[in-house]
């Protein structure tokens, strides 16, 4: 297949400076790359402890919403939607017309991780990458 063909994912698009090609890359990105779009900044304490600036958001992490209608709200991550690139945070919900509460999808770049979910493998992996 040719480079510009319709349904082929072309990884060279990341190198382009054209916004339309950047959008196309994000839209066509496979799930193993979409996970990289779900990184959020770490709090000052976690930055000093892990010596990293950002990490991928996971279910169970405690986050503070930094942008949008729910700015300042702290809550636990209820779910992570890798396909859509959104997370749902406890307490950040909207009321539908029929009265039911639904968690609002929030982009991971608009939150700050305050506390990591208890996962020894994750901490081990982060510290391993830091050394190497």
Task: Write the pLDDT tens digit of every residue in 60-112.
Answer: 999 999 999 999 999 999 999 999 999 999 999 999 999 999 999 999 999 99
The whole-angstrom separation of Cα 22 and Cα 15 is: 9
- What the block records as the tokens of 51 is 């010596």
Q: Give the pLDDT confidence of 99-132 residue by residue, as tens digits.
A: 999 999 999 999 999 999 988 888 888 877 766 6
pTM over cut 0.85 = no
Distance between CA atoms of residues 94 and 90, nearest Å: 11
* Structural domains for the chain: 30-131 (2.30.30.30)
- Cα–chain center distance at 87: 7
Q: Where are the alpha helices (DSSP H) in 29-109?
A: 31-34, 44-50
Q: What is the largest CA-CA distance in the chain?
A: 53
């Amino acid at each position: 297949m040719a480079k510009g063909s319709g349904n082929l994912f072309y990884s060279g698009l990341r190198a382009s400076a054209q916004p339309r090609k950047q959008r196309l890359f994000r839209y066509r990105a496979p799930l193993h790359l979409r996970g990289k779009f779900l990184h959020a900044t770490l709090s000052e304490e976690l930055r000093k402890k892990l010596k990293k600036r950002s990490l991928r958001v996971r279910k169970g992490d405690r986050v503070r919403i930094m942008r949008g209608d729910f700015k300042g709200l702290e809550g636990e991550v209820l779910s992570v939607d890798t396909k859509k690139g959104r997370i749902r945070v406890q307490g950040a919900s909207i009321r539908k017309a029929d009265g039911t509460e639904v968690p609002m999808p929030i982009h991971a770049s608009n939150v700050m991780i305050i506390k990591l979910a208890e996962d020894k493998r994750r901490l081990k992996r982060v510290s391993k990458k830091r050394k190497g």
